[in-house]
Structure 1
Amino acid sequence: MKREFYESPKPGKIMQWLWKAAGSDGYILKKSTYSDQVKYACLGGIVVATGFMAAMAGGYAIYTIFEPKGSALEGGVHPTTAVMSCLFGIVWGLIIFNIDRFIVAATGKGDGTEAITWQEFTNSLPRIIMGLVIAITISKPMEIRMFKSEIDAELHQEQLEKRKAYEIATKANYETLFNKVDSDIEKIERKREQLRAGIKEKTEVRNNYQVALQKEIQGEVGSGKSGDGPAADAIRLNLEIAQKELDDAKIALEDFDRSNKNELTRLNTERLNLNRELQNELTKNQEVASGLDGLLERIKLAHEIAGFWITFFITLLFVVIELTPIFFKMMLIKSPYDFMSENIKELIRAGEGIQIKYEYYKDKKGQERNLVINHQVKSKLDEKVSLMAAQSELSDYIVQKWKDREKGNIDNNLDEYIAEPK
């Protein structure tokens, strides 16, 4: 706006957009001083920056929650999760931007001085609490992104420890089952070995008799004469007995194998199934250990790694950024923008027939209240009341005239109004 003593600077598109972000009136700011234009552009810049940080924090938090779980040191980006996180981050940033814009726009100027009075602070307390919640929500995902390398290393070590602990516990759970199956298999195998040892022993006895019989027939032992004799017959009898015992032992082993075949097959199958289940459980344990790579675990590790004071000051930084516009507006000294804004509001109220009498009366608690008079409403109400009063007066006049006419009819035709007794 051009004036003889001052020409308001012409704002650019970006500055006007920042004014809108701060919830200020661009029409008034175009006529205001450059310092007012810059102040509200800065307020809008803080609101935009907060929305941008909220978008990044929200997007990263969602990506951390929904990304495929695995070793904390495995790199790479999951495209589907990244796209989903970007979309959510944009929506989340716009939500926080809109909330911040409302908080800043709804925060008044206070008493128009640099001092922040207790009354101003208590009046802004709900907005301050909302700002604190938003700041903490934004700061936590940003913290885990700042310390990502340290968190990944610590988280990987924790995953390995968890996986090892799960593996020990799982193997301990299956150890009893394996021991029982192995014990049953061992009993069968031990009995079989006993039978085989008996067969081997009886085979050696039979072979010894065969060698002795051959030597006896050839005359290599005894009398030294070859051919059959009583000694050979005695050896032959023992050989037949040994062969019979050997055949019986072989039959016993065959009967044992036949009778225990199904049981041995069942035990071996059960052991294979147990081993397969154990491997599946160990694989699940690896997945469970990898599942520790979540948002809550990373926030906890960030606090452990960085310590209380570092995380506190990071959170404090975001709190300051978030609450700066609120305290800034309470510290603003009234400027031409404020006076022109009040003037336009008064003009609009006057144009709409609204009158405010400040501190006009006291309520039941003794607090002074303003009296708001809506003259257009009062005019409409008075008009309606007058119209209804006129209608009521006309109705009374009509009724009176009707009564007068009926009285005349009765005077002239009394007999028509008197009913004959039956």
Structure 2
Amino acid sequence: MLQRFFILCSGADSELLATCSKGERNKYAGIGATVFFTAVMAFIASSYALFTVFDNVYTAVFFGVIWGLLIFNLDRFIVSTIKKRDSFKNELLQAAPRIVLAIIIAIVISKPLEMKIFEKEINQVLLEQKNELTLANKEQLALQYTPKVDALNEKISALKDEVDTKETETNALYDTYISEAEGTAGTKLLGKGPVYAEKREKHDAALAELQALKLANKEKIADLETQIATLDAEYARVVDTSQPIIDGYDGLMARITALDALPWLPSFFIFLLFLAIETSPIIAKLLAPKGEYDIKLEEAESILASWVAQKMAQRALITTTDREMNQQIYEDLKGEEELYGYKKKKAAELLRLQADTFHDIQVKGLE
């Protein structure tokens, strides 16, 4: 039963193969088994690839079954349409398009399994790429907020510098009137005279201005710091909002890109393995000698071709003969006086009927 199933997978004519030797049946059962297990590998590979896309087991298995059946049908078609001929060059030429198709299929079914085999290494590459994307994202977002924050900090620094300058001026006035009182500068008269009072008055006025300036600038600085805090909070919110997008950078294309970042040699050998699996039925048919099944199949095709050619020739001959006979019959009928008179009579009756009908129509049109 298993042998019959694999023979069915090979695309061979089971009735014709049943008349062949056991070894011939085993050969085609082996080819069919290769076709079947290639489809199984395609199902596994496509299911895993689709699982990374849909993240749903049932959806991945459903479409994986469809893909596996498609690959099975293609492989079965490829193997069944390669006919053994007496010339290996002709066989190779016949198989060339099918080999190209097999290479494409091998690439398609090997890539998902490569991603599964190298999953840990791919995860490491994806982690590094996510970290790079996170840093790049923060830098890009910072370009939008940093100039605003720097401008606000410059305004704060200017307000603080303004207070410091005023405070320096006030301290200088303080030192002046103290020195005047001590007699170490100015008039150099010890005591609190008119000059001292004048300088003390200037200092007190400057001190009042300093206090007012500190209060006003403190409010301005608090407002600017509030704006900076708002920008920092907005920046943090935007970073948190965009981070899940980076964390979700784990799709099929991302994994294929990460796989390409790994050394190419292991992936290449895995590809060669699947290429060998995919092309093995074709190679087996090309390298296998012409067997009993191939001879019988060629004979059956030859019989069918001969029968079709014979039928076509007979139909062409019948058509030619019938045409010649009809030509001769109508030539002979030309000389029949009775037939001529009968046809003339009928033609005259037809003309009279046409004339009467035309007359009736014209009369009705005048009424």
Deviations 1:2-57 (A, max 9, x none): xxxxxxxxxx1x33232222111111222322112211111111111111111222
Q: Does 1:27 align with 2:2?
A: no
Q: CA RMSD in A?
A: 4.4
Corresponding residue for residue 354 of structure 1: 308
Contact 2:82–2:94 at 8 Å: present in 1 too? no
Deviations 1:176-200 (A, max 9, x none): 22111222244345556888x69x9
Runs of 4+ aligned residues of structure 1 deviating over 6 Å after TM superposition are 192-195, 238-254, 403-407
Contact 2:16–2:293 at 8 Å: present in 1 too? yes
Alignment of 1:31-110 (within 5 A): 31-64=19-52, 66=53, 78=55, 80=56, 82-110=57-85
Corresponding residue for residue 129 of structure 1: 100
Bigger helix share: 2
Corresponding residue for residue 213 of structure 1: none
**Separation of aligned partners in 2, 1:181 and 1:148:** 48
**Separation of aligned partners in 2, 1:294 and 1:399:** 93
Contact 2:149–2:228 at 8 Å: present in 1 too? yes
Contact 1:110–1:330 at 8 Å: present in 2 too? no
Which runs of no fewer than 5 residues in structure 1 stay unpaired?
Answer: 1-11, 68-77, 205-221, 223-230, 232-237, 357-372, 408-422
- C-alpha deviation, 1:172, in angstroms: 5.1
Which one-letter code corresponds to 1:313 in the other structure?
A: F
> Are residues 124 and 246 of structure 1, via their aligned partners in 2, closer, same or farther at CA, if it must alter by over 3 Å?
closer
Contact 2:85–2:290 at 8 Å: present in 1 too? no
Alignment of 1:174-193 (within 5 A): 174-188=145-159, 191=162
Identity %: 26
- C-alpha deviation, 1:133, in angstroms: 1.2
Which one-letter code corresponds to 2:48 in the other structure?
A: Y
Aligned pair count reads 330
Contact 2:160–2:217 at 8 Å: present in 1 too? no
**Separation of aligned partners in 2, 1:24 and 1:278:** 68
- C-alpha deviation, 1:382, in angstroms: 4.3
Contact 2:44–2:64 at 8 Å: present in 1 too? yes
Q: Does 1:159 align with 2:130?
A: yes
Corresponding residue for residue 279 of structure 1: 236
3-state SS, counterpart of residue 334 of structure 1 = coil
**Separation of aligned partners in 2, 1:45 and 1:322:** 12
Which one-letter code corresponds to 1:125 in the other structure?
A: A
Contact 2:45–2:112 at 8 Å: present in 1 too? yes
Q: Does 1:381 align with 2:314?
A: no
- C-alpha deviation, 1:293, in angstroms: 3.4
Contact 2:79–2:281 at 8 Å: present in 1 too? yes
- C-alpha deviation, 1:107, in angstroms: 0.9
Alignment of 1:4-403 (within 5 A): 12=1, 14-64=2-52, 66=53, 78=55, 80=56, 82-111=57-86, 117-171=88-142, 174-188=145-159, 191=162, 256=216, 265=223, 267-268=224-225, 270-283=227-240, 286-287=243-244, 289-290=246-247, 292-302=249-259, 305-308=262-265, 310-346=266-302, 348=304, 353-355=307-309, 374-375=312-313, 377-378=315-316, 381-382=319-320, 385=323, 388-389=326-327, 392-393=330-331, 396=334, 401-402=339-340
> Are residues 83 and 240 of structure 1, via their aligned partners in 2, closer, same or farther at CA, if it must alter by over 3 Å?
same
> Are residues 331 and 374 of structure 1, via their aligned partners in 2, closer, same or farther at CA, if it must alter by over 3 Å?
farther
**Separation of aligned partners in 2, 1:160 and 1:33:** 65
Contact 1:143–1:311 at 8 Å: present in 2 too? yes
- C-alpha deviation, 1:296, in angstroms: 4.5
TM-score by length of 1: 0.62
Contact 2:35–2:75 at 8 Å: present in 1 too? yes
> Are residues 246 and 127 of structure 1, via their aligned partners in 2, closer, same or farther at CA, if it must alter by over 3 Å?
closer
Which runs of no fewer than 5 residues in structure 2 stay unpaired?
Answer: 175-190, 193-198, 346-367
3-state SS, counterpart of residue 374 of structure 1 = helix
